[in-house]
Amino acid sequence: MSRWKGRSRLGKVDLYTRGTVYSIQWGAVAVTVLLLLTRPVRHDAPLALTAAAILAALVNGALCHRFGRVAMAAYLTGDGVPLRAAAWPSAATGVLTASVLALGTVADLTGLQPMMLGSALVPVLSGHSLAVRPRVNALHQPALAAVFAAAVAATGQGGPAVLLTALTVVFITVWVAVSVRVSMWVLRVMWELDDARDVQARLAVAEERLRFGRDLHDVLGRNLAVIALKAELAAQLAGRGRPEAADQMTEVQRIAQESQREVREVVRGYREADLRAELEGARGVLAAAGIECTVGRPTADIAALSPRVQSALGWVVREATTNILRHGDARHCSITVDATARWVRLTVENDGAAPARPHRGTPGSGLAGLRERLLAVGGTLEAGPAPEDRFRVVARVPAGEPGPLAAAGGGSTTDEDLKESA
């Protein structure tokens, strides 16, 4: 049970789908064995032939189980299934079929033999339906029914038994092909969607890096070019003993200091973006990753928050968004901002959270860094699992300007009320 809870949603669907295919195979093996233990077989058939048929059914199930695993992996990855992978399962199915036909010649299996033959086919057909194209599979089904009908007729049974065998084989082949292939098709689509979501998340991060790099280039490009020209001019003037060289170097120093100031502004704008921009950025990045993000209407005017409060909460939004993209299997995320006269609280909650596991090696420093950053401004951070496989991050920062925040958030709410609501 712990391993099941530790899987992502895609992992659970993957395990369930594969388990369904295996259960179809081994369920058919169980049905075949039970039919071989019915009264007509026990009373009329030789014990050695019955035991051989049961052994053939078990061996057939084991070989077809392996064949089904190979076929599922090939179908999900788009690779072909080698012919040798189907050789032994097909041979085992042929031996089991021959054993059932032989039992029909020494025991009265009226009404039972078509079911035996059909259940003997199910294990190999589970892999066969994934190994070949649907069009080829559709051609194999009537051919298989004709072969089995001819085999039953060759044992001396009448027309009703032959017809019932043909109809049973057709029904089982169609049912297995549709059930197994549709189930694996749904799983493959989910794999592709999960891969697309990962690609979108990486593209969103790459786009942000490009934006930051572009801003740095715009700030430094022109100034560095001017510095290079003036430094070259100063070197030439100094070589001629001209006093203007000192003026040029002074100008180089001024431009370098100006460039340093502009770079700090770019970095500060990246590191201390206002809270509203961070909320919109989180919504866009999560949406690009296929995660629905709802931002509740703040109880306070975000523009009225002090830059110190906005910077601290903006970092919480960034780190929480990064954790949602990297960990768990979220499908929905909600972000709310509440305020009172004394505190501003930011809550980020998402579903699909993976269960807590013991750390191996050095734990991540993201949340620890946030706690240090919030502690520097008198704030607190709480992060941990919530009910229904959710994860919640709650950050509280003292309100820098109590006047407008008290009016917006309701002046009657106290610090203790905020603790209780958390």
Predicted local confidence at residue 356, as pLDDT: 54
- Mean residue pLDDT across the chain: 80
Three-state DSSP class for residue 63: helix
* Count of C-beta atoms within a 10 Å radius of residue 43: 9
E strand intervals along 286-351: 292-295, 332-339, 343-350
Show the tokens assigned to 306. 């002090």
Closest of 377, 420, 421, 419 to residue 399, by C-alpha: 377
Predicted local confidence at residue 328, as pLDDT: 65
pLDDT tier for residue 243 given thresholds of 50, 70 and 90: confident
Each residue's pLDDT tens digit, 380-422: 999 888 888 889 999 999 876 433 333 333 333 334 443 433 3
Predicted local confidence at residue 271, as pLDDT: 54
Closest of 21, 23, 105, 90 to residue 59, by C-alpha: 90
Cβ distance 204 to 285 under 8 Å? yes
Each residue's pLDDT tens digit, 18-61: 999 999 999 999 999 999 999 888 888 899 999 999 999 999 99
Contacts of 393 (CB under 8 A, 6+ apart): 316, 320, 323, 347, 348, 349, 367, 381, 382, 383
Contacts of 183 (CB under 8 A, 6+ apart): 17, 20, 21
Contacts of 31 (CB under 8 A, 6+ apart): 115, 119
Closest of 67, 54, 84, 83 to residue 125, by C-alpha: 67
Q: State mean pLDDT over 232-257.
A: 85
Residue 62 has pLDDT above 60, yes or no: yes
Distance (Å, rounded) from C-alpha 202 to C-alpha 205?
Answer: 5
Question: pTM here?
Answer: 0.56
Each residue's pLDDT tens digit, 82-114: 778 889 999 999 999 999 999 988 888 888 888
* Count of C-beta atoms within a 10 Å radius of residue 391: 23
Higher pLDDT, 348 or 314: 348
Burial class (CB in 10 A: 0-12, 13-18, 19+), 350: buried
Distance (Å, rounded) from C-alpha 41 to C-alpha 112?
Answer: 10
Q: State mean pLDDT over 147-175.
A: 86
Predicted local confidence at residue 365, as pLDDT: 53
Domains of the chain: 2-196 (no CATH), 207-271 (1.20.5), 275-421 (3.30.565.10)
Higher pLDDT, 327 or 276: 276
Distance (Å, rounded) from C-alpha 58 to C-alpha 45?
Answer: 19
Residue 359 has pLDDT above 50, yes or no: no
Each residue's pLDDT tens digit, 168-221: 888 988 999 899 989 999 998 888 888 887 787 777 777 777 777 777 776 677
Show the tokens assigned to 278. 């961070």
